[in-house]
Amino acid sequence: MIATIVAATMLLAADPDTCVVLSGTTIYGESRKQELMSRSLGSVEVGRNYLENHFSGTLMQRLRTIPGVQSRSIGSGQSKPAIRGLGFNRIAVAVDGIKHEGQQWGDDHGLEIDAFSVDRVEVVKGPGALLYGSDAIGGVLGLYTNYLPTGPVQGKVQFSARSNNEWLGLSARVEGRQGRFYYRFHLTGADYGDYRVPVDSIQYYSYNIPLKDGRLRNTAGRERDGSLALGYVGKTFRNDLTVSDTWSKSGFFANAHGLEVRLSDIDYDRSRRDIDLPWQRVNHLTVHDHAHWHGPGFILDADLAWQHNARMECSEPVSHGYMPTPPDAVERAFRKHTLTAKAGVRIDWTARHRLLAGVDAEYQHNRRSGWGFIIPDFETASGGLYAVDRWTLSDDLVLNAGLRFDGVRTRIQSYQDWYETLGEYKLRSEDLRKTFRSLTWSAGAAYSTGPWVWKMNAGKSFRVPIPKELGADGVNYHIFRYEKGNPALDPEQSYQMDVGINYAGDRLNIQVDPYLNWFPNYIYLNPTSGYYEGLQMYAYTQCAVLRYGFEVQASLSFGPHWETEIRGEYLHAEQLSGAKKGYTLPFSPPWTADALVRYILRPGTSVQMDLRLIGDQREIVPPEKPTDGSYTLNATVSRQFPLGKTLLKVNLQVENLLDRRYYDHTSYYRLIGVPEPGRNASLLVGLEF
């Protein structure tokens, strides 16, 4: 038997999934307490079982049961991640340690990741700049697919189905290990129909849009993903080469896209599974090589990755204002190449000091096409250097402190309209070269006494303005507004203080995570009172923002069969300066609380009921509407059946059992009055061999 020891995923390890493989022994590196002590900044880690037991659509919808993690629904069964209310480019999503780079600025752009290939998720709630540089200002969502197979041939087949959008999915994995070599092959396919909501009509842009059978027209889609990993696992050296490709095509809600509400000739109600215009199609290809070498007192990790993100958004060509009818349906298309290189080392330089140091570099090249302009062409090169010392004063007290320096250079290309406005081809974006530098730091302590672990961390993070913020000058076709970039923006900075209090008793576990966060210059898209060509002007500005909140989680077990759990989160955000002084930030999540009861018959077989309470959100900014609170009742049944040498896992989850109509304040479609789905059953059947 070959077993693995998961090496301590120490604070800021260059690749947190460092695995050291020993023959013939099984050593569990850290107990839960030691794991808690290894970091001063709060993080949550979930494995495959958790992901399977919370199957309910997108990966992000599964993760939102973690306090402090929100999923922002963008329609058509897709959602965007947010950590403590910050999303888009304010969190870093990393796959096997490489920052995922798509067009994540887009309101309706989902994550181009095969959710079924993810084995483990790690959420860093708080500034993660030290690890990932720019963008990790609000946190890091680390997804890991590099689970190491143990037998010569093993794998699983998973079938998934959802009632709301009639989702059908099939995912299969075959993997194995022969001596020092291993392979992993994964394929996923899914098809889904139009998204269903418990209303007959919605109000959009002051139009009344009747819905047929409560379905959001043309939100059907499909997804095809594949990946292949080949690896070598030696005594001191390991190498993993992964090639993965995700492809998806999905329709945009036909009644809420484009420059105005249209009555198209397309018969959208003909079928609820077809994809008509307008639609989006994305292909994301990643080639990633990871090398790992360890010896006495040191671990070295190096990564090289290339990502190619090709996105196309098509809609019916229609003349509008001064723009004549475009020649084709390609409204927007983007091609983005991202090259990433990084290396990190961990050295135990004395018995009590452990040094983590690293260097990383990234190059992005983005090209646009199509008749709708929103962001200019750009190239961005960035590099960073960091060092962290972890000082173990005693078994009960660990201190750490780190520094990071980043340099980012962005070049934005000019763009001119392809049509004339009153005799002139308008210049929408000017040539721009910008260099940003940033010094960030983090320091913290972890202290344990008896069943308690106390943590405190303070840190500074930064985010370089993205080309949309610097150089946008055009119509946002999805939200009917004109967005104006600001080339004078400074890198956004954030100071955050986190406290983590953990109590681990025999039956009772409590985790409380309060935080305080201050942005001196948050980049905010301010709705102004001005107009530009008939569209309300939104302009990028910077303002001070204060945010604070907490997450709490407590579980209590009664004997071997019964468990109860309470989870909750609260967040307050307020702009302290600028045009919207006193207002909150857009899409501020309301408080939520969950109360769960779980009956565990035996490991793998359980029944769970969950009551979710969602608070009112009265803190709004234009153009938001206040959102009333609500509650939902959800149930999950899981069961495992051993079948010979295989294991059959069945998981059935029913969300919103009472079929209540409610709104999610953080949903993209909240602005147009689309409620959350009604009763929705999700089934996941997996066969492991």
Partner 1 sequence: MKSNLSLIPVLLCVLGACSRPSASRDLVPPEIIGLGEDTAPLNCQHFTRGDVIPFAYAFRDDIELGAFNLEIHNNFDHHTHSTEAEDCEEDHDHGEGTAGENPWVFNQDYNIPAGQQNYEARVRIAIPYDVDPGEYHFMIRVTDASGWQQIRSVSIYLE
Q: Using alpha carbons, select from 565, 373, 595 the residue that is nearest to residue 467.
A: 373
Please list, in sequence order, all residues whose beta carbon lies within 8 angstroms of the beta carbon of residue 153, skipping any fewer than 6 positions away. Answer: 174, 176
Using CB under 8 A, which of 27, 349, 534, 561 touches partner 1? 534
Q: How many CA atoms lie within 13 A of 472 on its CB side?
A: 24
324 is a contact residue toward partner 1 (CB under 8 A): yes
Work out how close the CB of 619 gets to partner 1 at its nearest, in angstroms, rounded to a whole number. 9
572 is a contact residue toward partner 1 (CB under 8 A): yes
Please list, in sequence order, all residues whose beta carbon lies within 8 angstroms of the beta carbon of residue 88, skipping any fewer than 6 positions away. Answer: 80, 104, 105
Residues 623-642 as x/- pattern, contact with partner 1 by CB under 8 A: x--x----------------
Using CB under 8 A, which of 29, 622, 629, 673 touches partner 1? 622
Using CB under 8 A, which of 185, 495, 662, 689 touches partner 1? 495
Work out how close the CB of 482 gets to partner 1 at its nearest, in angstroms, rounded to a whole number. 11
363 is a contact residue toward partner 1 (CB under 8 A): no
Residue closer to partner 1 (CB basis): 6 or 456: 456
User: Tokens at residue 530, please?
Assistant: 């001005």
The phi and psi torsions of 460 (rounded to 5 degrees) equal -115, 135
> Quick one: which segment of 278-286, 341-349, 520-528, 640-648 binds partner 1 (CB under 8 A)?
520-528
673 is a contact residue toward partner 1 (CB under 8 A): no
Q: Using alpha carbons, select from 461, 545, 548, 449 the residue that is nearest to residue 498.
A: 548
Work out how close the CB of 506 gets to partner 1 at its nearest, in angstroms, rounded to a whole number. 33
Site residues (CB under 8 A) for partner 1, limited to 191-250 = 205-208
Work out how close the CB of 529 gets to partner 1 at its nearest, in angstroms, rounded to a whole number. 2
Using CB under 8 A, which of 109, 217, 580, 612 touches partner 1? 580
Residue 295 exposed, middle or buried by CB count within 10 Å (0-12, 13-18, 19+): exposed
595 is a contact residue toward partner 1 (CB under 8 A): no
Using CB under 8 A, which of 35, 389, 417, 574 touches partner 1? 574
> Quick one: which segment of 282-290, 369-377, 469-477, 581-589 binds partner 1 (CB under 8 A)?
581-589
Using CB under 8 A, which of 399, 556, 652, 681 touches partner 1? 399
Q: What 8-state DSSP symbol labels residue 149?
A: P
Q: What 8-state DSSP symbol labels residue 90?
A: G
Q: What is the rounded distance in angstroms from the CA atom of residue 413 to the CA atom of residue 689?
A: 53
Residues 262, 480: contact at Cβ < 8 Å?
A: no
325 is a contact residue toward partner 1 (CB under 8 A): yes
How many residues touch partner 1 (CB under 8 A)? 54
Work out how close the CB of 135 gets to partner 1 at its nearest, in angstroms, rounded to a whole number. 23
Residue closer to partner 1 (CB basis): 261 or 609: 261
Q: Using alpha carbons, select from 457, 471, 466 the residue that is nearest to residue 492.
A: 466
The phi and psi torsions of 27 (rounded to 5 degrees) equal -125, 125
Using CB under 8 A, which of 518, 591, 631, 662 touches partner 1? 518
Q: Using alpha carbons, select from 57, 115, 126 the residue that is nearest to residue 86.
A: 126
576 is a contact residue toward partner 1 (CB under 8 A): yes
> Quick one: which segment of 73-81, 107-115, 462-470, 533-541 binds partner 1 (CB under 8 A)?
533-541
Q: What is the rounded distance in angstroms from the CA atom of residue 372 to the CA atom of residue 376?
A: 11
Using CB under 8 A, which of 48, 224, 281, 320 touches partner 1? 320
419 is a contact residue toward partner 1 (CB under 8 A): no
Q: What is the rounded distance in angstroms from the CA atom of residue 50 to the CA atom of residue 46?
A: 6
Work out how close the CB of 531 gets to partner 1 at its nearest, in angstroms, rounded to a whole number. 4
527 is a contact residue toward partner 1 (CB under 8 A): yes
Work out how close the CB of 217 gets to partner 1 at its nearest, in angstroms, rounded to a whole number. 15
The phi and psi torsions of 314 (rounded to 5 degrees) equal -115, 145
> Quick one: which segment of 72-80, 165-173, 281-289, 618-626 binds partner 1 (CB under 8 A)?
618-626
Residue closer to partner 1 (CB basis): 297 or 321: 321
Q: What is the rounded distance in angstroms from the CA atom of residue 360 to the CA atom of residue 380?
A: 14
Residue 349 exposed, middle or buried by CB count within 10 Å (0-12, 13-18, 19+): exposed
Work out how close the CB of 429 gets to partner 1 at its nearest, in angstroms, rounded to a whole number. 21
Q: What is the rounded distance in angstroms from the CA atom of residue 573 to the CA atom of residue 592?
A: 16
387 is a contact residue toward partner 1 (CB under 8 A): no
Work out how close the CB of 484 gets to partner 1 at its nearest, in angstroms, rounded to a whole number. 13
> Quick one: which segment of 147-155, 254-262, 593-601, 603-611 binds partner 1 (CB under 8 A)?
254-262
Residue closer to partner 1 (CB basis): 526 or 666: 526
Cα distances (Å, whole numbers) of residue 542 to 138, 287, 485, 575, 587: 17, 37, 12, 10, 17
> Quick one: which segment of 360-368, 524-532, 605-613, 681-689 binds partner 1 (CB under 8 A)?
524-532
Q: How many CA atoms lie within 13 A of 33 on its CB side?
A: 15
348 is a contact residue toward partner 1 (CB under 8 A): no
> Quick one: which segment of 80-88, 301-309, 437-445, 660-668 binds partner 1 (CB under 8 A)?
437-445
261 is a contact residue toward partner 1 (CB under 8 A): yes
Which residue(s) pair with 593 in the sheet?
Answer: 568, 613
Using CB under 8 A, which of 581, 599, 643, 658 touches partner 1? 581
322 is a contact residue toward partner 1 (CB under 8 A): yes
> Quick one: which segment of 162-170, 234-242, 315-323, 335-343 binds partner 1 (CB under 8 A)?
315-323
The string of DSSP letters for 425-475 reads --EEE--EEEEEEEEEEEEEEEEEETTEEEEEEEEEEEEPPPHHHHH-EEE
Q: What is the rounded distance in angstroms from the CA atom of residue 143 to the CA atom of residue 123?
A: 9
Using CB under 8 A, which of 28, 349, 425, 531 touches partner 1? 531
Please list, in sequence order, all residues whose beta carbon lies within 8 angstroms of the beta carbon of residue 461, skipping any fewer than 6 positions away. Answer: 127, 128, 129, 136, 137, 440, 493, 494, 496
486 is a contact residue toward partner 1 (CB under 8 A): no
Q: Is the peptide bond before 623 cis (omega within 30 degrees of 0)?
A: yes
Residues 575, 601: contact at Cβ < 8 Å?
A: no
562 is a contact residue toward partner 1 (CB under 8 A): no
Which residue(s) pair with 344 in the sheet?
Answer: 301, 358
Residue closer to partner 1 (CB basis): 377 or 498: 498
Q: Which residue bears the tokens 């959009």?
A: 204
Contact residues for partner 1, defined by CB under 8 A: 205-208, 260-265, 318-322, 324-325, 399, 401, 441, 443-445, 456-458, 495, 497, 516, 518, 526-534, 536, 546, 548, 572, 574, 576, 579-583, 620, 622-623, 626
